[in-house]
C-alpha cells in the first residue's frame, strides 16, 4: 500500500500512519513532498479516533493544535467555557498514543483533586470514546491520578502522572514527585495562575531528554503569577499587549534558544460569535448571551472577573478598580532588595490556618537606606507544613515555629506578628506557650481582622484644620480592608521592598468594592470573591506580609510619609502590645530621617 509517497504493509492501520507522520521526523523526511503538516496528520488521526458529535471542531482547535505541533514552550490564555482544557486533553492523549512506552506526560494543578475536573478528566473522556485498541494505559486514583502505560518504580513509569504544586517546594521537589525519566516528556500546567513560581523551573529538571515541550493554560489575572510570567513578551513590551490586544505573540519562555509562544482565546472573538449556526452548534461554549450578561453585571467591563473569565486577558492597568495597579507596582521598584546602611532589625509576619491553606512566614528587615530613610524589606519566606494524616496540626506547626525563629535570629516574640482571628488565636497561644517555655521572651503581636479599624493617621490622608491627617477609621470600612491597604500605602510611599511574585500578584488583583468609593468608606474586595476569580487559591502570602507591616506601622517602627502623625494605635489595646519608647543608644528610633513622599494614587 502506497500512502503519502511511502510503502506501507497492506494491513497497516490508517490511524497508525497518521500518528507516525505526526510524531516521527525521520518518516516525514522520507515522505518529503508527499506528506502534510504535522498538525494536519494529527488532525486526521483525531477525526478517525473520535466522532465529531463527541469532539466538536472549531477554529480554536486548529489554532491550539498548530501551536502544540510547533513544540517548545506554549502559553494559552483563555476565557471560561472556551474548551482549552478539553482540546489540550485530546492533544496530549493522541501524542501519548504515538509512543506510549517512551512518553511521560506530567500534569500539574492545584489542588490535586482538581485533576478530575480539568485537563486530565477530559483526556479520559476522549479516551473512552475511542476504539478499544486505542484505549491504552491503566487508570489509578491513589495516591494521585495517573494513566500508566508502563507501571514500575525507580523512574520507570510512563504515561500520565498528575501532581500538585505545594507552597514552599522547589522545582526539584516537584520533580521528585514525578520520579521518572523518559525519552519524550510533556509538561502541562493547568490553571497555572493558581500555582507558584516553582513550576517555571520544572523544564530544567524534566527536559533533560531533549524531546520536551510544555504548555501553561488558565484564566490570566496578573503578569506576576506563573501564567503571566510564562507569557511575558519576548521584547518585554506588556503595554503593547494591552493596547493592541493581539491573539498571539512570541514570549521570553525559551527552549533550545527558541522563543515561546502565547495564544489567547478571547471571549469577544469566540467561534460562537461567527454566526448564529455556530452559536447553536457550539452551545457548550461561551455564547453571545453569556457575553452580554457579563457586560451588564455590576462592574461590567471594568471588573477583573470580566477580563479574566470572559475576555481571557490580563486587565490593562487602570481598567479595573484594584487596590494597586501593576503600573504603580512596577514604578515603585518595590520588588527589589535594597542596600541597608548601618544597623538593621528583623521582624516576622505570618498568616495561620488549620483549614488546609499554606502557612507562610515572612522575615522583614527594617533599616535605613540612602535617599529613602527607614524602610522595610522582605528578605526571606518560609512555610510551616502540616501533615493532615497526623493529629495535632497546631502542635506540628508549633514545633517548626521555634526553630524557625532561632534560624532567623529573632530573639523576641515581641518582634513577631501573627493573624489571631478566630481559631488562629488559639494557634498563636500555643506558639507563645511553647516558645516561652524555653526562653520566656515576651508576647506575640496579635492582629485580628475582625477588630475595629485603627486610629493610625494615614500618610496620604486628608488634613484637618489642625494640620493632622485623617485616621484609618475615617478612610476604611473594616479592619480587613485596612490590613490590605497598609501594604499599598507603604508601596506608594516607597518604604516597602523585596515583595515577591506571589504577593505582587495577589495585591494587584485585589479589587475594591466600587460602591464604597461613592462617598463612603473604602472596602476591599472580600477574600471569598477574590478566590472565585483566582483558581480558588488563598492570598495567604499577602495576608502574612500585611500582618507584619501592620505591626511595624502600629508600633511606629515604620513611618511612611514626612508629616504622618503617629498616635496611639487603638483604644483598648493591651499594654504589652503598645509601642515601646525608643532607646537612645540602640536601634533606629533616635535617627532623624527625611523621606521623599510620592503622591499616592492617580489623577
| pLDDT score recorded for residue 405 | 95
Q: Is the pLDDT of residue 219 over 80?
A: yes
Better pLDDT: 130 or 515: 130
pLDDT at 438 over 80: no
Q: Are strands 72-78 and 158-163 parallel, antiparallel or unpaired?
A: unpaired
- Percent of the chain with pLDDT strictly greater than 70: 90
Q: What is the DSSP string of 383-434?
A: EE---TTSS-HHHHHHHHHHHHHHHTT---GGGEEEE-STHHHHHHHHHHHH
Q: pLDDT category, 439, cuts 50, 70, 90?
A: low
- Tens of pLDDT, residue by residue over 232-283, are 999 999 999 999 999 999 999 999 999 999 999 999 999 999 999 999 999 9
Region 467-471: mean pLDDT is 86
Residue in 477, 482, 353 with CA at minimum distance from that of residue 418 = 353
CA dist., res. 339 & res. 331, Å (int): 18
Nearest-angstrom CA–CA distance, 363 and 376: 10
**pLDDT at 175 (0 to 100):** 87
Report field, pTM of the whole predicted structure over 0.85: no
Q: At what angle do helices 479-492 and 540-554 cross, to 10 degrees?
A: 80
Cβ–Cβ < 8 Å for 63, 266: no
Q: Tens of pLDDT along 547-584?
A: 999 999 999 999 998 543 334 344 444 554 444 443 43
Closest CA to 187 of 81, 113, 265, 95: 95
Strands 103-108 and 184-190: parallel
| Grid-cell match 501592620, residue found | 550
Judged against a pLDDT cut of 60, whether residue 504 lies above it is answered with: yes
Residue 25's closest CA among 207, 180, 210? 210
> What's the pLDDT at 531?
86
How many CB atoms are closer than 10 A to CB 285?
A: 23
Rounded CA Rg of the chain: 27
Residue located via cell numbers 516558645? 435
Q: What confidence category does residue 441 fall into, taking pLDDT thresholds of 50, 70 and 90?
A: low
The residue written with cell numbers 501519548 in the block is 96
Average pLDDT value for residue range 16-43: 96
**pLDDT for position 296:** 77
Q: What is the pLDDT of residue 283?
A: 93
- Average pLDDT on 449-453 reads 92
pLDDT tens profile 38-89: 999 999 999 999 998 999 999 999 999 999 999 999 999 999 999 999 999 9
* Helical H segments across 161-300, by residue range: 171-178, 202-206, 226-230, 238-244, 276-281, 288-296
At residue 365, the pLDDT reads 97
| C-alpha span between 517 and 520 (Å, rounded) | 6
Beta-carbon contacts of residue 549 (< 8 Å; ≥ 6 apart): 349, 364, 376, 486, 487, 490, 496, 558
What is the Cα 446 distance to its own chain's centre?
28
pLDDT digits (tens, 9 = 90+) for 143-197: 899 999 998 765 678 999 999 988 778 888 898 888 778 999 999 999 999 898 9
Which pLDDT does position 480 carry in this prediction? 95
Residue 354 confidence (pLDDT)? 64
pLDDT at 357: 57
Calculate mean pLDDT across residues 287-296: 86
Give the C-alpha separation, 261 to 25, whole Å: 22
**pLDDT confidence of residue 588:** 35
> What local confidence, expressed as pLDDT, does residue 601 receive?
39
C-alpha cell at 101: 512506552
Q: Which pLDDT does position 318 carry in this prediction?
A: 61
Structure confidence at residue 249 (pLDDT): 98
What are the two backbone dihedrals, phi and then psi, of residue 298, each rounded to the nearest 5 degrees? -55, 130
114-142: average pLDDT: 95
8 Å CB contact between 4 and 31: yes
Residue among 198, 222, 309 at smallest CA distance from 505: 222
Question: What pLDDT shows up at residue 168?
Answer: 78
Half-sphere exposure of 30 (CA within 13 A, CB side): 11
Confidence of residue 516 (pLDDT cuts 50, 70, 90): low
Residue 562 confidence (pLDDT): 57
Q: Given this model, what pLDDT does residue 582 score?
A: 39
Name 76's bridge partners: 217, 263
At 358 the pLDDT is 73
Average pLDDT value over all residues in the chain: 88
* Domains of the chain, start order: 55-268 (3.40.50.300), 271-310 (no CATH), 326-555 (3.30.420.240)
pLDDT bracket for residue 355 (50, 70, 90): low
Q: How far apart are CA 245 and CA 243, in angstroms?
A: 6
Please say if the pLDDT value at position 602 is more than 90. no
Closest CA to 238 of 367, 118, 135, 325: 325
Amino acid at each position: 500500500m502506497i500512502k503519502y509517497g511511502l510503502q506501507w504493509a497492506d494491513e497497516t492501520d490508517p490511524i497508525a500512519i497518521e500518528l507516525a507522520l505526526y510524531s516521527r521526523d525521520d518518516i516525514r523526511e522520507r515522505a518529503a513532498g508527499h506528506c502534510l503538516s504535522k498538525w494536519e496528520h494529527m488532525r486526521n488521526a483525531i477525526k478517525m479516533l473520535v466522532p465529531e458529535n463527541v469532539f466538536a471542531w472549531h477554529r480554536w482547535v486548529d489554532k491550539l493544535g498548530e501551536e502544540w505541533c510547533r513544540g517548545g514552550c506554549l502559553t494559552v490564555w483563555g476565557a471560561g467555557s472556551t474548551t482549552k482544557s478539553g482540546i489540550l486533553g485530546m492533544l496530549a492523549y493522541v501524542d501519548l498514543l504515538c509512543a506510549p512506552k517512551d512518553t511521560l506526560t506530567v500534569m500539574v494543578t492545584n489542588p490535586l483533586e482538581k485533576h478530575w475536573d480539568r485537563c486530565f478528566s477530559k483526556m479520559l473522556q476522549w479516551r473512552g470514546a475511542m476504539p478499544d485498541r486505542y484505549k491504552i494505559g491503566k487508570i489509578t486514583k491513589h495516591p494521585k491520578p495517573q494513566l500508566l502505560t508502563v507501571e514500575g518504580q525507580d523512574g520507570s513509569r510512563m504515561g500520565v502522572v498528575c501532581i500538585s504544586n505545594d507552597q514552599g517546594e522547589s522545582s526539584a521537589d516537584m520533580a521528585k514527585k514525578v520520579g521518572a525519566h523518559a525519552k519524550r516528556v510533556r509538561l502541562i500546567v493547568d490553571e497555572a495562575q493558581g500555582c507558584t513560581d516553582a513550576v517555571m523551573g520544572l523544564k530544567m529538571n524534566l527536559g533533560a531528554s531533549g524531546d520536551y515541550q510544555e504548555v501553561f493554560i488558565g484564566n490570566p489575572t496578573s503578569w506576576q503569577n506563573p501564567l503571566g510570567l510564562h507569557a511575558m513578551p519576548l521584547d518585554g513590551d506588556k503595554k503593547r499587549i494591552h493596547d493592541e490586544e493581539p491573539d498571539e505573540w512570541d514570549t521570553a519562555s525559551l527552549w533550545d534558544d527558541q522563543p515561546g509562544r502565547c495564544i489567547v482565546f478571547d471571549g469577544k472573538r469566540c467561534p460562537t460569535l461567527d454566526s448564529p449556526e455556530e452559536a447553536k452548534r457550539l452551545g457548550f461554549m461561551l455564547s453571545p448571551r453569556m457575553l452580554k450578561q457579563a457586560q451588564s453585571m455590576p462592574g461590567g467591563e471594568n471588573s477583573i472577573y470580566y477580563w479574566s473569565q470572559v475576555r481571557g486577558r490580563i486587565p490593562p492597568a487602570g481598567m479595573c478598580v484594584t487596590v494597586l495597579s501593576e503600573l504603580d507596582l512596577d514604578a515603585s521598584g518595590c520588588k527589589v532588595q535594597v542596600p541597608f546602611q548601618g544597623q538593621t532589625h528583623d521582624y516576622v509576619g505570618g498568616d495561620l490556618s488549620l483549614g488546609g491553606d499554606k502557612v507562610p512566614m515572612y522575615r522583614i528587615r527594617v533599616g535605613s537606606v540612602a535617599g529613602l530613610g527607614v524602610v522595610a524589606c522582605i528578605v526571606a519566606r518560609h512555610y510551616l507544613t502540616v501533615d493532615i494524616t497526623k493529629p495535632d496540626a497546631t502542635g506540628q506547626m508549633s514545633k517548626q515555629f521555634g526553630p524557625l525563629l532561632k534560624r532567623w535570629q529573632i530573639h523576641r516574640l515581641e518582634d513577631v506578628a501573627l493573624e489571631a482571628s478566630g481559631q488562629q488565636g488559639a494557634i498563636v497561644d500555643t506558639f507563645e506557650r511553647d516558645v516561652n517555655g524555653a526562653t520566656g521572651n515576651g508576647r506575640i503581636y496579635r492582629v485580628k481582622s475582625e477588630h475595629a479599624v485603627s486610629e493610625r493617621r494615614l500618610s496620604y490622608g486628608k488634613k484637618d484644620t489642625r494640620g493632622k491627617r485623617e485616621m484609618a477609621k475615617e478612610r476604611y470600612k473594616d479592619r480587613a480592608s485596612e490590613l490590605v491597604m497598609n501594604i499599598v500605602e507603604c508601596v506608594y510611599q516607597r518604604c516597602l521592598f523585596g515583595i515577591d511574585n506571589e504577593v505582587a500578584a495577589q495585591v494587584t488583583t485585589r479589587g475594591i468594592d466600587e460602591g464604597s468609593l461613592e462617598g463612603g468608606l473604602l472596602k476591599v474586595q472580600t477574600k471569598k470573591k477574590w478566590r472565585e476569580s483566582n483558581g480558588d487559591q488563598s492570598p495567604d502570602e499577602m495576608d502574612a506580609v500585611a500582618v507584619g507591616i501592620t505591626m511595624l506601622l502600629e508600633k511606629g517602627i515604620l513611618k511612611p510619609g514626612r508629616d504622618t502623625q503617629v498616635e496611639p494605635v487603638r483604644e483598648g489595646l493591651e499594654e504589652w502590645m503598645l509601642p515601646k519608647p525608643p532607646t537612645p543608644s540602640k536601634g533606629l528610633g533616635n535617627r532623624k530621617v527625611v523621606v521623599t513622599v510620592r503622591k499616592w494614587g492617580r489623577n
